[in-house]
Amino acid sequence: FRIMIRTKGIMTSSTQDTALSLLRAFMANASIDAFLIPSEDPHQSEYVADYHKRREFISGFSGSAGTALVTRDEALLWTDGRYFTQAAKQLSPAWTLMRQGEPDVPLVYEWIGKNMSSSSTLGVDPFVVSLTTYRRLLDLDTKLQSVSPNPIDTVWGQVRPAPPADPVFIHPVSYAGVPAQLKIQQLQRLLTIEKVDLFVVCALDEVAWLFNLRGSDISFNPVFFGYAVVDANDAPILFTDSTKVSSDVASYLESIGVKLAPYNALLNHLQTSSATKVWVDPMQCSMAIHDSVAPRTIVEKPSPIEEMKSIKNPVELEGMRQCHIRDGAALVRFLSWLDSVIENSISEVDAADRLESYRQTLPKFRGLSFDTISGSGPNGAIIHYKPDRASERILNRQEMYLVDSGAQFDDGTTDVTRTVHFGQPTNHQVDCFTRVLIGHIRLAQAVFP
């Protein structure tokens, strides 16, 4: 099984179908009846680097949420209502769109349970299937087989994007508010209380938060690829690619008592660890990590870091306020500019680019927090709409315009949506706008228990 697709990275219906054929050839060779392809990476990230977009490669569907299942004679793609229109456009005729949430459309687990027998074999990549998903698959009357390396990587071949290699950088305590040493000590105290020897940190945002580090391995997300193992009575270990760690970052880690190890050394470390009781978050921990920890006692509970980082300290709260003030100024500047030039055939992409240029001039700007949604008229109603030069619309004074955008700053993140009309809105539009505004005001005034 060494045939590779060699294109310029552009998936067409023919290359998608070729990829399917090659994957099925592997499945037949390995006696696998179906292969499950989730969207997530080994850290169960919602948004993934191009290097990990296996589901997008095999199906052609580029939405952020979806699960693919390839059998010997079917190819199915599950996604939610945000992406029905996009998926219908991007999938080749070889694929069946499973409109998740609609009546009579089974979930992927239900489909497997109904269509695969006890003699059937379902293949999964143990590095991208969470422990929670693994448990659900085990409940099905189907044989489960781990497949590593992932066969899609072989099909992808030389056109697969390279792994991210951007450097890791320090997130100063002047923005974080709390030194990493104190966060580590707080976590270690909790492990002692819970009578747990060590905790495996899998989520990228939690690794970055714990050590006050940041990166840019995933577009729009200030994270880097790494795991952490926090021992209740020993120095924590950061597992990441050493080529991404500068001498300054290495010195910083040493100063806060953190050891550095290669990214791929995690499983071996867990297998040889003297720990007898290990805590993992089943939503974040992969099947591969779980198998490396077994047969030790495994505590399956939500990550304690999730709650720790959700409680913002005064420095973080002030950073959130200040970055929104700066970002708001850029947005007002943009809307003022747009109102003055709207008759000049300004397109959706033109508008998005101009807004980004205003943000780029702001202090502490690191990049956008997601692709700007710039939609004129009916395009504003498309969820997660991304304009492109081939199909964009021109803004005008007769239709509404929606801009949903945000940025990453050293001191916070913004995500702001504005719906405006540069002419005379209809009574219905005014009524809808007002009702939404009233809802926002009431929500802002609500006191939660």
The residues, any chain, with a CB within 8 Å of residue 293's CB and separated by 6 or more, are 200, 270, 278, 280
What confidence score (pLDDT) does residue 7 get? 41
Q: What angle do helix axes 314-341 and 348-360 make, rounded to 10 degrees?
A: 140
Backbone angles phi, psi at 48, to 5 degrees: -125, 160
296-316 per-residue burial string, b: 16 or more CB within 10 A, e: under 16: bebbeeebbbeebbeeeeeeb
Would you give per-residue pLDDT tens digits along the chain (449 residues)? 333 444 444 455 567 788 999 999 999 999 999 999 999 999 999 999 999 999 999 999 998 899 999 999 999 999 999 899 889 989 999 999 999 999 999 999 999 999 999 999 999 999 999 999 999 999 998 999 999 999 999 999 989 999 999 999 999 999 999 999 999 999 999 999 999 999 999 999 999 999 999 999 999 999 999 999 999 999 999 999 999 999 999 999 999 999 999 999 999 999 999 999 999 999 999 999 999 999 899 999 999 999 999 999 999 999 999 999 999 999 999 999 999 999 999 999 999 999 999 999 999 999 999 999 999 999 998 888 889 999 899 999 999 999 999 999 999 999 999 999 999 999 999 999 999 999 999 999 999 98
Hey, what long-range contacts does 333-342 have (CB within 8 A, 24 or more apart)?
Answer: 333/358, 334/358, 334/403, 335/418, 335/420, 338/395, 338/401, 338/422, 339/422, 342/395, 342/396, 342/397, 342/422
What confidence score (pLDDT) does residue 6 get? 40
Question: Would you say 249 and 168 are in contact if contact means Cβ atoms under 8 Å apart?
Answer: yes
Question: Would you say 241 and 215 are in contact if contact means Cβ atoms under 8 Å apart?
Answer: no
Question: Would you say 369 and 359 are in contact if contact means Cβ atoms under 8 Å apart?
Answer: no
Q: What is the pTM of this model?
A: 0.91
What confidence score (pLDDT) does residue 384 get? 83
CATH fold of the domain at 169-310: Creatine Amidinohydrolase; Chain A, domain 1 (3.40.350)
Q: Enter the DSSP assignment of 166.
A: P
Question: Is it true that 13-156 and 169-310 share their CATH fold?
Answer: yes
Supply the DSSP string of 96-128, one letter for each residue. EEEETTSTT---HHHHHHHH--TT-EEEE-TTT
What is the rounded end-to-end Cα distance, in angstroms, of the chain? 58
What confidence score (pLDDT) does residue 3 get? 39
Cis amide prior to 282 (ω within 30 degrees): no
Each domain of the chain, given as residue ranges in start order, spans 13-156, 169-310, 314-445
pLDDT in tens, 204-217: 999 999 999 999 99
Question: Would you say 417 and 331 are in contact if contact means Cβ atoms under 8 Å apart?
Answer: no
What confidence score (pLDDT) does residue 14 get? 66
Backbone angles phi, psi at 401, to 5 degrees: -130, 130
Supply the DSSP string of 205-226, one letter for each residue. HHHHHHHTEE--SBTTB---SE
Q: How far apart are CA 244 and CA 169, in angstroms?
A: 9
CATH fold of the domain at 314-445: Creatine Amidinohydrolase (3.90.230)
Homologous superfamily of domain range 13-156: Creatinase/prolidase N-terminal domain (3.40.350.10)
Q: How far apart are CA 120 and CA 122, in angstroms?
A: 7
What confidence score (pLDDT) does residue 346 get? 97
Nearest to 258 by CA among 228, 303, 293, 223: 228
Q: How far apart are CA 414 and CA 430, in angstroms?
A: 26
